[in-house]
A and B are shown apart, each in its own frame.
Chain A
Amino acid sequence: MTRIFVPLVLIAMVLFASAPLVVANAPVEQTMGLVQKIFYYHVPSAMLLFVSAFVCGIASAVFLFRRSAAADRVALAAGELVVLFGLIVLVTGPIWARKAWGVWWEWDARLTSSLLLWMIFVAYLMVRRFGGPGSEKLAGAMALFGMANVPFVYVSVNYWRTLHPKTSVVMTLAPGMRGAFWFCVAAFAILYLLLLTLRKRLEDQQAMVEQLYLAVEE
């Protein structure tokens, strides 16, 4: 793990240092103007929000059925990252909407379902924090149910009203924008992997320290 860690960190640093330049060089979108540039950070974060939710849900399922403590630690790390990237999505989104739609918040399908998904994982972290001993299982069930809930939330909220640009917008980007966009996606994905491994590692070490404490007490 450590062997690929150093190159990963280097790549992430290079990508992130150059990301603002790449974004600045990308053509300015005609109808929306400069504010469209938020898109380069907003959409990769949203992608990672969903990826991370699924990582957390699947790791929780593995934890519940195979009783693997390592899977539980992956789930916790992914759960924290859902909340982090969700926060980024939910803050940059309204800033864009204020300019493009004229309002901070709109009850559109994608916004609302992202908010609900984010809330489920905030609840997940709350259970882990305040649930007391034995709350990992409860939290695991929350993550699993939260993951299963995604399509239901999406369908039910979609039937309400929709205002958000379609997902197909990614495929129809102008060539100059496409490059910058996938550059940002790559940078965010690597960053996500780094944070996930770091957080998981921290949790592993914490578990080890706890065991050592028990050993010393004896």
Chain B
Amino acid sequence: MKQFLRVAWVVMRKDLTVEMRSREIVYTTVFFAASCVLVFAFALVREGRPLEDASAGILWIAIAFAGTLALGRTFERERHTETLRALMLAPSDRPAIYVGKLLGVLVLMAIVEAVLVPMVGLLFHAPVLARPLWLAALLAAGTLGFASVGTLFAAMLVRARSRDVLLPVLLYPITIPVIIAGVRGTAAIFQATPDEPMARFWAALLVFFDVVFVTLSLWTFEPLMTE
């Protein structure tokens, strides 16, 4: 167990160190997410007033789009330098490598969300500070669900042809429950009078999703990544 966590930690630190050197993914992804929000603003703001209820949807769409970009870039880097194969040859648990990559992606997405949430709050008058803990819980659970499936698929796609289009083609249908739960849950706490039981229901669904899909990913990572 200790060994498992150590490997995961080392893989994550490796990813973040490489990222710190260039900051390529962070800069491009954050900028992309911000442009997404702006595009939605131009589409949905009428006469200076944002559409009711739109902010939660915009927040989650931006997260999903930016997340796909971050996942693609993280593994493109591994492919470019042929390092994923080396990583797989390391004498360590495969699932630990998966957890390490997942943690790296989660950190990246957390940075993006830290920019996105205030931006949506400012531009769409969303009460992001009304229930900060519920919002954080929904974001954490939703991001974990999205990234756990995404990391597995992105890792497998490294070897595939046309991987750029296939990642969203595979990822979006599978993560629809995450998007629905995230949007509905966030919309519930963004209401004038926050609806906590509703938020709790959606957060519970997200946690269930996380448990099932993280376990499934850990189980399938080994046979999937063996050539």
Contacts and interface: CB of A to CB of B under 8 A. Distances in A.
Does B associate with A? Answer: yes
Contact of B160 (A65, A67, A132, A159): A132
A137 B174 CA distance: 16
Contact of B181 (A144, A148, A156): A156
A187 B149 CA distance: 38
A75 B157 CA distance: 20
Contacts, number: 85
B100 to A, nearest CB: 19
Contacts of A153: 176-177
A155 B205 contact: yes
A138 B173 contact: no
Interface stretch (A81-89, A122-130, A190-198): A122-130
A127 B170 contact: yes
B223 A146 contact: no
How large, as a class, is the contact surface on chain B?
A: 20 to 34
A105 B63 CA distance: 28
A137 B166 contact: no
A120 B173 contact: yes
B166 A145 contact: no
A114 to B, nearest CB: 12
B166 A65 contact: no
A131 B166 contact: yes
Contact of B205 (A116, A134, A156): A156
B149 A156 contact: no
B149 A138 contact: no
Given A64-B224, A132-B160, A159-B201, A152 B173 contact: no
B220 A131 contact: no
Nearest to B163: A131
A146 B216 CA distance: 12
Interface residues of A, number: 31
Given A141-B224, A159-B184, A134 B160 contact: yes
B106 interface: no
Given A142-B170, A152-B209, A135 B160 contact: yes
Contacts of B212: 148, 152
A160 interface: yes
Contacts of A67: 223
Contact of A138 (B156, B208, B213): B156
Contact of A148 (B162, B173, B213): B213
B157 A152 contact: no
Given A145-B216, A157-B180, 9 more contacts: A64-B224, A127-B166, A130-B162, A130-B166, A132-B159, A135-B160, A137-B156, A138-B224, A153-B177
Interface of A: 64-65, 67, 116, 119-120, 123, 126-127, 130-132, 134-135, 137-138, 140-142, 144-146, 148-149, 152-153, 155-157, 159-160
7 contacts: A65-B223, A116-B176, A126-B169, A127-B160, A132-B160, A149-B174, A152-B212
